[in-house]
Amino acid sequence: MKIVIIGGGPAGRTSAMEAAQLEAEVTLIEKKHIGGTCLHEGCMVVCGLNDVVRFHEDSKRFKEMGITSGESQIDYSKVTQGIKEVTGKIEHVLKYETRESGAEIVQGEAKIIGREVGSEEGDIGGIVEVDGVDYSYDKLIIATGSRPSIPPIPGAETALTYKDVLDFIEVPETLNIIGSGVIATEFAGIFSSLGSKVKVLCRNQFLSNIDPEIKNYALKNLLEGVEVIENVQVDEITDNGASTSNGPMDGVVFLATGMTPNSEIASKLVEIGPKREIIVNNHMKTSAPSIYSAGDVVGTVGNTPVARMEGMVAARNACGISATMDYSLIAQSITLYYPISFLVSQKSSKINSKEHEDLKVRIRGSGGPGSFWNVLDGSTGFTKMSADLETGNITGASSISPSSRTSMPYLAKMIKDGYKTSDFEDFIETHPSTDAIYKLLHFLAKYG
């Protein structure tokens, strides 16, 4: 079985390693960097910047408390240089892992130049060309990712996006972020802490998929220096700012208005959806019998762990092993000083539609690793959960704490596996910990 995979991001690389371990002959084609957007422009860049932000915020706090005598001074150019060095080292490790699995990595831009036509079943394979070299396949997996969506606003092409962050010479004095979701929130927190005067311009509601109490805590405690303006229309973008329904907004304009799938390579081969996403079924199979697709290009949840799982499912099905993608409950997070973690499903932003019957419980965060010194001003985080007391089902969970990003996916797995609130009555946690989920589960176990 010859499998060609286009795209070396989380979905493509996972597909390559899974298929190689299933003894397929695998060629992974990547035109730029192994690791994709997540490593070189997205998630890991945010992690690097946020680590600096946390240190900077802690140093200011320690100075105010008299623990230290000086405040940190950040050299942004050194930060970006360091991030590039770290991601470069990680890419080296990813290449090694991928090759060790048995997959071949080909660097260059792929072009699908032809397909072999089979019998009544239709297409059974084809050829991908890279720099004049042909690579034939029995099955093709397209994992070409996505790019920043540019809205139809005059002058939008002059605005910056997350792709430009590592090229900033210095921290912008004023930053106008257009958007209302995760990307807008993360960069608002980062650059506000680094000294920018940040405004977030939302066409509708800011973080509409987040529990309102969780959102309000974040605005008050994690984004306190950010001005969020909802229900504002941006009419034009210039080099000096933006014209809006609320008047002119001077300063650098940064677009965080969603993502556009990179589906052009397959536009004449498979069915494409209204948002340019490649249409797949729950086996990650496209409308073409020999072509699968995974990751941001299929336009589902749009985060790295989901992309990896989609890549694994695509590879297994391409190798003749039945696998199904399950989006019923996904843990997601937003990277700020404390991560915001929450559970969502593909069909709805809420786990349960019977909100009026659920018991909602909430608790402030605990003092512990990453939050100990914040006990004095009460900014240790916030966790909220809900449960149906009649069935014992856990119906919702959101948490702001240093450990929430780690605990939330395990909770999602346990909920999917049928755990009830009563199952946590004898749960023993580690200590010290900033996890507040177990405390609420202990409480709910008495009633569920």
Please indicate, yes or no, whether residues 360 and 410 belong to a single structural domain of this protein.
yes
Please indicate, yes or no, whether residues 35 and 133 belong to a single structural domain of this protein.
yes
367 is a domain residue: yes
pLDDT digits (tens, 9 = 90+) for 319-351: 999 999 999 999 999 999 999 999 986 544 445
Task: Single out the residue in 257, 275, 308 at which a domain terminates.
Answer: 257
The answer to whether 108 and 56 are in contact (CB under 8 A) is no
Model pTM score: 0.93
139 is a domain residue: yes
Residue environment code for 289-310, b if the CB has 16+ CB neighbours within 10 A, otherwise e: ebbbbbbbbbbbbbbbebbbbb
Please indicate, yes or no, whether residues 215 and 272 belong to a single structural domain of this protein.
no
Alpha-carbon gap, residue 185 to 228, rounded angstroms: 10
Please indicate, yes or no, whether residues 290 and 436 belong to a single structural domain of this protein.
no
Please indicate, yes or no, whether residues 358 and 435 belong to a single structural domain of this protein.
yes
197 is a domain residue: yes
323 is a domain residue: no
Q: Which domain holds residue 419?
A: 330-445
* Cα Rg of the chain (Å, integer): 23
- pLDDT of res. 384: 97
Q: What is the CATH number of the domain that holds 215?
A: 3.50.50.60
Q: Which amino acid is at 85?
A: E
- pLDDT of res. 139: 96
Q: What is the CATH number of the domain that holds 349?
A: 3.30.390.30
Q: Report the half-sphere exposure of 129 (CA within 13 A, side-chain side).
A: 7
- pLDDT of res. 119: 34
pLDDT digits (tens, 9 = 90+) for 161-175: 999 999 999 999 999
Cis peptide leading into residue 212 (ω within 30°):
no
Please indicate, yes or no, whether residues 172 and 102 belong to a single structural domain of this protein.
no
Alpha-carbon gap, residue 221 to 202, rounded angstroms: 20
What is the count of structural domains for the chain?
A: 3
Show pLDDT as tens, one digit a residue, over the chain (448 residues).
Answer: 999 999 999 999 999 999 999 999 999 999 999 999 999 999 999 999 999 999 999 999 999 999 998 778 899 999 999 999 999 999 999 999 999 999 999 999 999 986 644 434 445 689 999 999 999 999 999 999 999 999 999 999 999 999 999 999 999 999 999 999 999 999 999 999 999 999 999 999 999 999 999 999 999 999 999 999 999 999 999 999 999 999 999 999 999 999 999 999 999 999 999 999 999 999 999 999 999 999 999 999 989 999 999 999 999 999 999 999 999 999 999 999 999 999 986 544 445 455 457 999 999 999 999 999 999 999 999 999 999 999 999 999 999 999 999 999 999 999 999 999 999 999 999 999 999 999 999 999 987 6
Please indicate, yes or no, whether residues 50 and 185 belong to a single structural domain of this protein.
no
Please indicate, yes or no, whether residues 102 and 182 belong to a single structural domain of this protein.
no
Distances (CA, A) of 113 to 264, 271, 411: 13, 18, 45
- What angle is formed at CA 205 by the lines to CA 203 and CA 211, rounded to 5 degrees? 155
β partners of residue 178? 201, 255
Q: How many helices (H) and strands (E) does the chain have?
A: 9, 22
The answer to whether 391 and 420 are in contact (CB under 8 A) is yes
Please indicate, yes or no, whether residues 308 and 196 belong to a single structural domain of this protein.
no
Task: Single out the residue in 236, 257, 278 at which a domain terminates.
Answer: 257
Please indicate, yes or no, whether residues 56 and 114 belong to a single structural domain of this protein.
yes
Q: Which region holds residue 66: left if phi is over 0, alpha if psi is between -120 and 50, else beta?
A: left
| Collapsed DSSP state (helix, strand, coil) of residue 102 | coil
57 is a domain residue: yes
247 is a domain residue: yes
Q: How many CB atoms lie within 10 A of CB 97?
A: 13
Please indicate, yes or no, whether residues 11 and 127 belong to a single structural domain of this protein.
yes
The answer to whether 158 and 238 are in contact (CB under 8 A) is yes
- pLDDT of res. 115: 64
325 is a domain residue: no
Measure CA of the first residue to CA of the last residue in the chain; give whole Å.
Answer: 51
- pLDDT of res. 346: 57
86 is a domain residue: yes
- pLDDT of res. 349: 43
Q: Which amino acid is at 346?
A: Q
Please indicate, yes or no, whether residues 16 and 141 belong to a single structural domain of this protein.
yes
